[in-house]
Amino acid sequence: MKKTQMIIHLIALSGIIGLSHGAIQRPDYDDTPTPEFLNPSWMASIPDERPLSHVTMPGTHNTMALYGGVYAECQTWSLASQLRAGVRFLDIRVRHVKGNLTIHHGVSYQRAHFGQVLEGVAVFLQDFPSETVLMRVKEEFSETGDIYGAVVDFIHRYAHWNLLWHSRLVPTMGEARGKLIILQDFSGPDLGMRYASLDIADDWKVPTLSNVEEKWKSVYDHLEAAPTGNMAQIFLTYSSGAGVFAHPRAVALCVNPMLYDYLEAKTDLNQRLGIICMDFPAAPIIQMIIDFQLKSRF
Ligand SMILES: *[C@@H]1O[C@H](CO)[C@@H](O)[C@H](O)[C@H]1NC(C)=O
C-alpha cells in the first residue's frame, strides 16, 4: 500500500472511531486555537468603486461550529480570531426556539446565541471600519420556517439597524465598508442580499474519504469558472464537506492541501475567484486567497 493511501486509511479509521486529533498547524490547515498571524484590515486597499462581486475573499463554513466532537466541529478559532485573520464570509446556523436564536450545527449546541455573533461582528467593524462582513443566516435544527421576526429583533437588541446593508443589490466596496451584509437564506421580507442570488458550489456530501476526488472536482470546476463568470454575481465555493465515514476535519486535511497547491500554482493573481469557504483554514491559505485581487485599470 502506498504511503499516502495508508495515511488516508488511518484518517478514515480515526474518523469512524471519532478521535479528535487537534493542534495541527500547517499552511493550508489549522486546528489550533489561534491563527499564526492576523490581517484584520486587508480590504482597506480595495478601491471604493469596486463591486463586492469582484472581490476575492476567504470564508468559513459553519463558522461557529467549535464544539460537539469531530462530527460537529468545523473550526477552532473564535469568531473574533477568524475576522482578524481575514475571514469575511460567515456561515451562521440558528435554531429558533420561541423567539430565541441559538447557534447549532445539527444537534450540537455551540454555546452561543445569535446576539453574540452580531455583537462580535459589530465590534470588529467598529475597530476596522474599512472592512465588510458577509453573513449567510440559515435556520438549523428547528423547522419553524419563520425566523425573520426573531432575526430583526436580535439585530435591534444586539447590534443596530444601520449596521446592515439594506438592499438585494451587490454593493460596491465603498458602500459595504463598516456594514454587515446579511445573505438571507430564509423567507420573509428583504433583510439584505438573498443567499440564492449567489453562484454557489456547495457539494458538501463526502460519504467516505475515497470521495474526496469528486469533492475536489466540484471545487476546482467552480474556481475555474469564477474568473470568467458573471461579474455582477458573487461566486461562492465551499471546500468543506463531510459524511458518515468522513468527518469535517478528515475532509479538510485532504482538500485544504489540494486547494493550497491549486492556488499556489496560479501565477496570475489578477483574477476574481470569489468567496472561498473552508473548514479549518490556516493564516497562510487565507492570505493566499486575499492576494487574488483584480488590478485597478489606470
Ligand atoms: C437564548 O438562549 C441562550 C442559550 O441557551 C440563553 O443563554 C439565553 O438566555 C436565551 N435568551 C432568551 C431571551 O431566552
Res. 187: pLDDT tops 60: yes
The 10s digit of each residue's pLDDT in 6-16 is 555 555 555 44
- Would you state the pLDDT for residue 296? 82
Atom 11 of ligand 1, residue of closest alpha carbon: 100
Q: In this predicted model, what pLDDT tens digit does every residue of 132-145 receive, in sequence order? A: 999 999 999 999 99
Asked if the model's pLDDT at residue 297 lies above 90, the reply is no
Place of cell 469564477: 226
Which residues touch 115 (CB under 8 Å, ≥6 apart)?
A: 101, 154, 157, 158
Pick the CATH number of 25-292 from 3.20.20.190, 3.30.497.10, 3.40.50.150, 3.30.360.10: 3.20.20.190
How much is the pTM?
0.93
Separation CA 139–CA 100 (nearest Å): 12
Q: Which atom of ligand 1 is nearest to the CA of 112?
A: 4
Does any ligand 1 atom lie closer than 6 A to the CB of residue 110? no
d(CA 96, CA 93) in angstroms, rounded, equals: 10
Cα–Cα distance measured from residue 122 to residue 117, given in angstroms and rounded to the nearest whole number:
9
Over the stretch 192-237, which tens digit does the pLDDT of each residue have?
999 999 999 999 999 999 999 999 999 999 999 999 999 999 999 9
Can you count the helices (H) and strands (E) in the chain?
8, 10
Question: In this structure, what are the phi and psi dihedrals at residue 289, rounded to the nearest 5 degrees?
Answer: -70, -45
Is any ligand 1 atom within 6 A of the Cβ of residue 142? no
Measured in angstroms, how far is the CA atom of residue 258 from the centroid of ligand 1? Answer: 40
Distance 183 CA to ligand 1 centre (A): 24
| Dihedral angle computed from the Cα positions of residues 83, 85, 89 and 95, in that order, rounded to the nearest 10 degrees | -50
Question: Which residues are registered as beta bridge partners of 138?
Answer: 93
Residue 50 near ligand 1, beta carbon < 6 Å:
no
